[in-house]
């Protein structure tokens, strides 16, 4: 299916971005394709405030429109957002999320062309309804977003690898940041991301991450950098006092582009299935991803030099947020991950630890 549009008359395009960090990274190829289809158009993206830094560096976006998602009576503040969008003279809105809410906002803003998947009972709010197919959902999530945009063009050739542009100035900032915290150029920097916003079924046990860090720090030249959101700061309760003094703690201290820049300096990132995992992959950092309830064929890191640690159980993947047994994680030991890290570094860099 190709939607017939008068592309010459579409000069202003609003992209409604998704809400989660990892999902946002996975939409980068779709946004790149929108730019390819409409090379001269002004493209704006509507995203939550916390995602502004990620899209602010995109060469495919001309304008970032941040918003704060509110509930209850505070949601009335969205009328201000609707008025702002209605004054933007947008010719078309492309909705990457599946939600009813995302379609309602652009409908009320009076944007004449509204394109999105026909899901969440929102079809009557769209002018161009893209049928949702079950086999699409079984693909990698990056393809799910790309398939939506491919309905706008005959030329469907585009890279499916998300990439984040950093720039030399930010790389210099990262080098200075790490140097001030004791990381030298000859050190082997290993990133550790022990959190995941989805819930416990995406989080390998924090005490095992702590055990892994202890073993890695015993290796020559190894330095550890912990990344994550501010609410994941209680992870440090699992670290011994003498270990805390030896790690670089960035938890809750960076925006998304600063995080991406620091991850680009890591030799490898050990992580759960999470936003930082996709950010790391998008800056070409080798990933060792520990999977529990989810399926790496759908949400795994894209690109080269990535390794998945996952146990194929009869209940896996379950995609549940909660679990009484977490057997998938119990079967992944500190020793197993430790040897995977050493072997992976040796394979990529030729370094025997």
Instruction: Give pLDDT tens digits for 100-123.
Output: 999 999 999 999 999 999 999 999
Residue ranges in the chain whose pLDDT is less than 70: 1, 70-77, 137
What is the rounded CA–CA span in Å between residue 252 and residue 93?
A: 33
Strand partners, 316: none
Whether 192 and 313 map to the same domain: the answer is: yes
- Indicate if 275 and 243 belong to the same structural domain: yes
Are residues 259 and 221 located together in one domain of the fold? yes
Expressed as residue numbers, the domain containing 114 is 7-150
Question: Same domain, yes or no, for 22 and 124?
Answer: yes
Domain annotation covers residue 156: no
Residues 342, 205 within the same domain: yes
Q: Same domain, yes or no, for 183 and 309?
A: yes
Pair 334, 194 in one domain: yes
Report pLDDT for 70: 65
CA–CA dist 35, 179 (Å, integer)? 38
Q: Between helices 334-349 and 206-217, what is the axis angle to 10°?
A: 50
182 and 105 housed in the same domain: no
State the total domains in the chain.
2
**Angle, CA of 148, 150 and 153, to the nearest 5°:** 140
List pLDDT tens digits, range 121-139.
Answer: 999 999 999 998 777 767 8
Q: What CATH number did the domain enclosing 146 receive?
A: 3.40.50.2000
Looking at residue 75, its pLDDT comes to 54
């Amino acid at each position: 299916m190709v939607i017939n549009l008068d592309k010459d008359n579409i000069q202003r395009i609003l992209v409604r971005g998704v809400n989660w960090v990892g999902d946002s990274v996975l939409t980068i190829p779709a946004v790149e394709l929108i730019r390819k289809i409409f090379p001269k158009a002004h493209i704006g993206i509507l995203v939550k405030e916390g995602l502004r830094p990620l899209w602010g560096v995109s060469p495919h976006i001309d304008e970032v429109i941040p918003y704060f998602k509110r509930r209850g009576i505070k949601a009335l503040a969205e009328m201000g957002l609707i008025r702002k969008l209605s004054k933007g003279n947008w010719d078309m809105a492309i909705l990457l999320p599946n939600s009813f809410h995302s379609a309602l906002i652009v409908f009320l803003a009076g944007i004449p062309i509204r394109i999105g998947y026909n899901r969440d009972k929102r079809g009557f709010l769209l002018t161009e309804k893209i049928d949702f197919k079950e086999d699409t959902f079984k693909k990698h999530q990056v393809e799910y977003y790309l398939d939506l945009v491919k309905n706008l063009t005959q030329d469907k050739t585009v890279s499916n690898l998300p990439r984040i542009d950093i720039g030399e100035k930010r790389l210099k900032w990262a080098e200075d940041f790490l140097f001030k915290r004791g990381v030298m150029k000859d050190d082997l920097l290993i990133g550790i991301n022990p959190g995941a916003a989805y819930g416990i079924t995406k989080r390998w046990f924090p005490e095992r991450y702590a055990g892994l860090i202890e073993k890695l720090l015993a290796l020559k030249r190894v330095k550890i950098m912990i990344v994550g959101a501010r609410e994941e700061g209680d992870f440090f309760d699992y670290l011994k006092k003498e270990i805390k003094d030896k790690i670089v703690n960035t938890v809750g201290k960076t925006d998304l582009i600063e995080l991406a820049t620091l991850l680009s300096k890591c030799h490898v990132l050990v992580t759960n299935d999470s936003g930082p995992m996709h950010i790391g992959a998008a800056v070409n950092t080798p990933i060792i991803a520990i999977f529990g309830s989810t399926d790496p064929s759908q949400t795994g890191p894209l690109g080269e030099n990535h390794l998945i640690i996952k146990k194929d159980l009869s209940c896996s993947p379950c995609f549940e947020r909660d679990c009484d047994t977490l057997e998938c994680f119990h079967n992944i030991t500190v020793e197993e991950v430790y040897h995977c890290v050493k072997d992976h570094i040796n394979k990529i860099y030729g370094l025997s630890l």
